[in-house]
Amino acid sequence: MEETLDTVLVEMDEETGLGHITLNRPDKLNTINQQLKSDLTTALKSLREHDKEASGVSVRAVVLEGAGERAFCAGADVSGFGDRTPGQFEQRTIFDRLADFPAPVIAKIEGYCLGGGLELALACDLRLASAESEFGLPEVELGLLPGGGGVQYISRLAGPAVAMEIAMTGKRYSTEFAEETGIVSASYPNSEFDEAVDEFVHELARKPPLALRAIKDAAHRSVETGLAEGRRYDRRVFSTLLETADHEAAAAAFKSDDQPEFEGR
C-alpha cells in the first residue's frame, strides 16, 4: 500500500507489517498546518482500515518521520492560528489520534523537533533521535502553553520540574538532554541513524502483535487508573493472550528452539 497526500506520504509494507508515515513539507521544516493535520488523520485512518481488513493483525508497527534532514517537525504553522476559534482547539486533535493508534508508533526524529512537532513525537510510543537533533516547546514566546499535551507528556516522562523548565523557558535542548531525561528512548550518531532505526523497528515488528498492543494499552492505563485497576487489567489480558494462536506459536517454537512466526491471532 502506498498513498501520496498533499503534505503526507503513507506506506505499508505487506511483508513486514511496517507502516511508514512521512510529514512531507521539507521546505517549511514540516511545520503543521491544517492540511497536514487532515492528511495525517487520513494516513492513520488508512492504516487502521488496512489493519481491519486482515484476518489477523497486519500493522505491526508504524514509523513517523519528517522529510529531509533538517527537521522532524519544527512546530505549528502559526499563520493559521488566526483562522481558528478557541473552542476548536478543545476538540479531538491529531495528537489524540496518534496516541490512540492501536499498534506501536515510533517517532524517528532528525533535526528540529519543536513545539507541535515535539508534541507529535511525544504522542508516539517511542522516540528514536539522531544525535544532533534539537527539542523545545517555544509556545510561551507567543503567550501560550503547548496545546497538544507537551507539558502533560513530559511531566510523566521526566517529572513536572523538567516539563516546566522546557515549557517556561522556551529554550532548545540537545538530544543528550532529551535522552538523559527520558523524553527520547534512544539516540544514535547521525551516520548510523537510518540503519539503527531500521533495525529497531524490524525487530519490534517480529514480536507478537497482540502482545505489543496489550502492552501499549497497559502502559496508557498505568497513568489513567489506580494501581489496583491496572493490575486487574494485566491479569485479565494475560489470560486472554494465553488463548491466542500467537502464544501457541511462541510456546511451540520455544520447545523446539525455532523462530516463531506470528499472525496476530
CB 197 within 8 A of CB 108: yes
CB 46 within 8 A of CB 10: yes
Percent of the chain surpassing pLDDT 90: 74
Query: What pLDDT is stored for residue 233 in this prediction?
Result: 85
Q: What is the mean pLDDT of residues 41-50?
A: 94
Q: Which of 61, 3, 81, 7 is nearest to 37 (CA)?
A: 7
Q: Which residues pair with 112 in a beta bridge?
A: 71, 134
Secondary structure class of 126 (helix, strand, coil): strand
Q: Which of 240, 262, 239, 241 is nearest to 250 (CA)?
A: 262
| Cell of residue 143, nine digits | 503567550
Q: Which of 126, 227, 249 is nearest to 178 (CA)?
A: 126
Q: How confident is the model at residue 83 (pLDDT cuts 50, 70, 90)?
A: low
Q: Which residues pair with 66 in a beta bridge?
A: 23
Query: What pLDDT is stored for residue 253 in this prediction?
Result: 82
Q: How confident is the model at residue 8 (pLDDT cuts 50, 70, 90)?
A: very high
Whole-angstrom Cα distance, residue 133 to residue 118?
Answer: 11
- Backbone phi, then psi, for 262, in 5-degree steps? -105, 140
The domains located in the chain, with CATH, are: 2-205 (3.90.226.10), 209-256 (1.10.12)
| Cell of residue 93, nine digits | 486533535
Mean pLDDT of the chain: 91
Lowest mean pLDDT: which of 19-28, 62-71, 84-93, 162-171? 84-93
Q: How confident is the model at residue 9 (pLDDT cuts 50, 70, 90)?
A: very high
The pLDDT of residue 89 is above 60? no
Hey, which residues are catalytic here?
Answer: 119, 139
Whole-angstrom Cα distance, residue 75 to residue 71?
Answer: 10
Count Cα atoms within 13 angstroms, Cβ side, for 228: 0
Chain centroid to CA 231: how far? 25
Q: Which residues pair with 21 in a beta bridge?
A: 10, 64
The pLDDT of residue 90 is above 50? no
The pLDDT of residue 122 is above 70? yes
> Could you please report the per-residue DSSP string of 204-225?
HHTS-HHHHHHHHHHHHHHTTS
Query: What pLDDT is stored for residue 166 in this prediction?
Result: 98
Q: What is the mean pLDDT of residues 249-256?
A: 84
The pLDDT of residue 118 is above 90? yes
| Cell of residue 45, nine digits | 485512518
Secondary structure class of 170 (helix, strand, coil): coil
Secondary-structure percent of the chain, ordered helix, strand, coil, rounded to 5: 50, 20, 30
Query: What pLDDT is stored for residue 242 in this prediction?
Result: 87
Query: What pLDDT is stored for residue 84 in this prediction?
Result: 53
Max CA pair span of the chain: 63
Alpha helices by DSSP H, the chain: 34-53, 94-99, 116-123, 150-158, 160-169, 175-180, 193-205, 209-222, 227-241, 245-256
